[in-house]
Structures are given as C-alpha cells and as structure tokens.
Structure 1
Amino acid sequence: MPDVAVAQPPARRAPRRAQTRSAFGLLLPTLIVLGLVIGYPLALAVNLSLFSDPIAGVPRFVGPDNYTRALWGADAGRFWSAAATTGGFTLVVVTLELTVGMALALFMQQLKRGRAFARVCVLVPWAVPTAVATVLWQWMFSTDGVINALTGQEILWTGAEGPARTAVVVIDVWKTAPFVALLLLAGLQLIPGEVYEAAKVDGAGAWRRFTRITLPMLAPAVTVAVLFRVLDALRMYDVPAILTNGANGTTTLSLLTQQLAIGQVRVGYGSALSTLTFLLIFLVALAFIKATGARIVDKEGT
C-alpha cells in the first residue's frame, strides 16, 4: 500500500502551541531590550548614513553615496586599509589566544591542588578594564619601560608599524586569553576521565590522546570561544585608540569610524562606516556558524 501522510492529532498540537506561546512570552522582554539597545541605534545609523555630513551645511539626502565613497570612491583606500588591519589583527590575536588559552586550560586541568587559586590568577587580566590595562602596558612599552629593560633594547614601540602592531597584539592576547582558557577549561571538565584511562590501557600516548580525544570532544567549546573572540576582535577599538590613536598601521574599522564621525564631525559618512562594520561582523558570524555546523535551533526545529 502507498504511504499515507497521517496528520498530527490535535491533542498533540495543542501542547506544542502552548509551549511556543510560553517560550515567546519568556523571550519577549529580552527581544524588547535588544530592540531598544541594538535595533534603534542601528536604524538611526542607517538613516544618518543616507544624508550628507552636517559640517558641509544642512544635511541633505544623498542615498548610497556615503557607501560608494567608502567602498570604491575617494575614501576607499582608508576604508580597505582599516578593514585589512582589522582582519589581520583578528586572525593573529584569535590564533594566539586560542593557543595560549588551550595551554592554560590544560595546565589548570592537570593541577591536583590549587586549581581554584590558579583560576583566580588567570582571571585577573581579563577582569582588568581594557582601558586600564592598555595604559599600564603603554608605560611598560615606553622607551625606558619594563619591556625594553628586560630585552636590553631601546625600541620605540609606538613609533613604527611593526612594533606598534606587535604591542597591540601582545596587549589584546594578554587581556583576553584568560577568557578563552576558562571557556576551554569548562569544556575539558565535561570529558569523562574513563575515556583517557581506556586510551592509556590501549597504549595511546599523550599526543594521541590530545588529538584523538581532547580536541574532538572539546570542539563545541573551541567553536564558542573562537566565535566570541572573532566577533570581539572585529570591533577592536580600545587598545589601538589608547596606545597609538591609530598611528603606524593600527587603525581599525571601529577606530576609523570614531575618528571620522566624532573627530571630523562627518556624521553621515561615519554612520555609513559603522553600518558597513556591522554588516561585516554579521556576515562573518553567519559564515562561521554555517561553516562549523552550529545551530540556533535543534534538529527538530523546536
């Protein structure tokens, strides 16, 4: 007999609809707050980006002119340079933070005593406000600072492109690698110890256990850590703004937007840059989620 689609009984659909309404009711306050905090500023920025800068007189509607100027017009060089700098910083800092964070997480996982104290010590850099941490590192990177004293050099760290970018990377990695370490440590603690014991009995060495057990079972935590850090690094502003003010190849998209919108009162063009930065971050997040197979809803779509 041919297969006949059987309709879901109304008795089963009713609880499902009730759960949906209940879930929506619980999410509604959060959605309202997100709409006020994110939706309204974004809509305002998009609206401002369609008008000329007030410094040139009364703002007038110019449509997509601000976007074309940034992407392939007169100011395209500055935009794409800032985009390349932002992408370079993101790639380097996320890679280093994942490596350092993994090492710290494995170290804390192996501790038999003092694990809580080690977590507190690791958490301190992340708990320090970014502005405060950057100022402290700025003193350390000065010509007569601690870094030059330890290395025996007299490098002007903010005076050239290479040292300036290195300083930005060092500060960001020092600040946020502990966050990655704690996320990975939480994932490590979910791996059953019996799995490692069975692997040892089978003769698997430390490296084989790490590559065949730890990394595959830690993949969800790594995915979350990388996603969070990529999105955060793409909007990097504090460290280069305080350390170099964007000099010597350290101007990121967020810093360029602030310099133009506030420093030069180019509100319309700056709003276009902020909108483009938002779109870039959104597209990167969407591509990352698609590539890693992450899902917002479960397989049944509930």
Structure 2
Amino acid sequence: MAEKLSLNQSRIRSAWLFITPMIVVMVLVAGWPLLRTLWFSFTDADLKELGAAKFVGFSNYVGEYGLLADPEWWNAVLNTIRFSVISVTLETVLGLIVALVLNAKFPGRALVRAAVLIPWAIPTIVSAKMWAWMMHDQFGVLNYVLMGLHIINQPLAWTADPALAMNAVIMVDVWKTTPFMALMILAALQMLPTDCYEAARVDGIHPVRVFFKVTLPLIRPALMVAVIFRALDALRVFDLIYVLTSNSKDTMSMSVYSRQQLVDFQQVGFGSAASTVLFLIVALCTAAYITIGRVKFDGDAR
C-alpha cells in the first residue's frame, strides 16, 4: 500500500513537472494581457495617449454612456447569440450525418475523408474572402448558378442585404466548420465497441433505434465536448464576419464591436470594457454548458 501511494505521489510530481512550464507560458502570454485589458476597462484610456489614462471606475460599464446602455452593444450580443446558436446547431447535425457516412465502409472512403477536411484546412480569412467573391452581387458565381437553375430571378446582394447578410455568414461558417464536428464525432464513433451492434443485429433491432438507443448515448461525451469547443469559437467570432460584412450593424458580433471601439474610435478604455464583458460571457456560457451537460472531460458523463 505504501509503495502504491509513493508511486502515485511520484506520478503527480512528474505531471506537475511537465505542465508547470506550460502554465507559466500561459500566464505570461494570456494572463498578463487579460489583466492589462481588465485594468484599461476601468480607465478612460485613449489609443493615442495610453500613458495618460485616468481611473474612472465602472463608468465604461454602467451609466448613461456605459457599455450596458449602448444599443449597438446589445445588438452585437443578439447577433452573436443568433450566429452561435444557428451555426453550431447546423454544424452538429450535419457533422453527425457526415461522420456516420464516413464511418461506414465503402470504396474510396479514405479519399472522401481527406476531401471532407479541405474546407476546415483552409484558413478562415482565405475562405471568407473566397466566399465574398463567390457571393458578389454582380459577378459572383453563386448568383450565376442559382439563376441558371431558375431558383432566383435576379442577383442577390448576399453580404449587403440586411435580410441575407447574417444567413450568408452562417452559411460560410457551416461550410467551413462542419468538417471539424464530423472529425470529432468520427473519432468517437471509431472507439465504440462492436459487441453492442452485433447483439442488436442478432436481435433484429432497427438501425434507427440502435442509433438513438446505443450510438448517440455512447458518443454523447465526445459530442458535448465538440459542441463546447465550437460554441466558444462561435461566441468569439471575428475574422469571418469582419471580412464578409466589415462593421455592418446587421452582422456585427461582440468581437467586431470591441475592435471597432479599440481601433476605429481609439477608445481603449471602452473597448477593453467590451472585451472584458465578452470574456465573462464566454466563460459563463462554458461553465453553464458543462454544468448542465454534466460532462467530464475524461470521457465519462455523470
């Protein structure tokens, strides 16, 4: 017993030895900028004269001209929530379907798996610019194809029309990130035991019932982790929206709003307050999702 306890203590010490450098690097790379941003959010810092910043308390958060009183901020919050909910839901459903297809045995499966990952491998800036040209209202190939199929009668301004801009952004994000969800779910499917399916086949249980009663519960922990990762990215979305629609109020996310305050308006204090609130929202959403889903990251669900 003493030898086993000593071995466990040795393993714990070794683990801390290996992760300590990573923790130190994370504190230096992420911790210091985060604290700096938090400090600026309580000041009237300006991009031209950061050294002349004065402490103003919670004025950047509350009050007549505070962040929480700005309608544009709440518009950005609603846009971000809408984008996150719709895109993550579609990516999860489509990713699950793609993963189930790729998990089946068929000729050329390896080639199809490699092809499916291409959208995810393309950098977001590149894919966003590519889709911006494809959705151009005058010479975009998307309008040309849809008009050729007689689905639309005239070219659509996908990224300029307020009624279509958010849908266009969501469509591009789903196209790019569905392969990530499919890859995560496929990895979980590859780890499932085969004896359950053999028993179900012998008993003559319908495949649809097997999916909902066996497959889905077994891959639930991996699915929840994948959804959490995607939700975090969706709540922090910036590059995709900024490249496609710039500072349009119809699609402005919380990150785009923060960037506008920091860079365009040079209000470092106010922009830092927006960035801090964004960080808190992401952290709270993550904690709530993990608590509600009761996910253990060691692969078990309570």
1:53 maps to what in 2? 45
Gapped regions of structure 2 (runs ≥ 5): none
Q: What is the aligned counterpart of 1:98 among 74, 92, 95?
A: 92
Matched, 1:89 2:83: yes
Query: Aligned in 2, Cα 1:298/1:233: closer, same or farther, shift over 3 Å?
Result: closer
Contact map agreement 1:54 1:266 (CA 8 A) in 2: yes
Give the aligned CA root-mean-square deviation in angstroms: 2.0
Q: How many residues align?
A: 289
Superimposed CA distance per residue, residues 167-207 of structure 1 (whole angstroms, 9 cap, x where no aligned partner): 10011001100000011011111112332221122121121
Q: After the TM superposition, which residues 121-200 of structure 1 pair with which residues of structure 2 at under 5 Å, given as runs? A: 121-143=115-137, 144-152=139-147, 153=152, 154-200=155-201
User: 1:289-300, aligned counterparts within 5 Å?
Assistant: 289-295=290-296
Unaligned segments of structure 1, at least 5 residues: 1-8
**1:182–1:270 Cα change, 3 Å:** same
> What is residue 25 of structure 2 aligned with on the other side?
33
What SS does the aligned partner of 1:72 have? helix
Per-residue CA deviations over 1:212-248 (Å, capped at 9, x if unaligned) read: 1111111111011101100000000011101111315
**Partners of 1:158 and 1:248 within 8 A in 2:** no
Deviations along 1:115-162, whole A, 9 cap, x unmatched? 221111011000000000011101111113121112213111122222
Q: Return the alpha-carbon distance in structure 1 between the equivalents of residues 292 and 284 of structure 2.
A: 12
Deviation (angstroms), 1:113: 2.5
CA change 1:148–1:298 in 2 (3 A) is: closer
- Of 68, 72, 82 in structure 1, the residue corresponding to residue 68 of structure 2 is 72
SS at match of 2:160: coil
TM-score normalised per structure 1:
0.90
Query: In the alignment, residue 72 of structure 1 is paired with which amino acid?
Result: L
Matches of 1:116 and 1:56, distance apart in 2: 54
Q: CA separation in 2, counterparts of 1:229 and 1:21?
A: 33
Structure 1: which amino acid aligns with 2:197?
Answer: Y
Paired residue type of 2:9: R
Counterpart contact for 1:90–1:233, Cα < 8 Å:
yes
Structure 1 letter corresponding to 2:200: A
How far, CA to CA, are the matches of 2:126 and 2:235 in structure 1? 21
Deviation of residue 249 (structure 1)? 1.1
Aligned residue for 2:117, secondary structure, equals: helix
Identity %: 37
For 1:39 and 1:138, the matched residues in 2 are separated by 35
Question: For the residues of structure 2 that align with 1:225 and 1:39, how far apart are their CA atoms?
Answer: 25
Quick check: 1:232 aligned with 2:224?
no
Q: Which amino acid in 1 is paired with 2:20?
A: L
1:44-93 CA-partner distances (Å, limit 9, x unpaired): 101111110326973211011112154533x2x11111111101100000
TM-score under structure 2 length normalisation: 0.90
Aligned to 1:255: 256
User: Against the structure 1 CA distance between its residues 13 and 189, is the aligned structure 2 distance closer, same or farther, given a 3 Å change threshold?
Assistant: closer
User: Does structure 1 retain, via aligned residues, the 8 Å contact 2:135–2:141?
Assistant: yes
Amino acid paired to 1:28: T
Contact 1:51 1:61 in 2 (8 A): yes
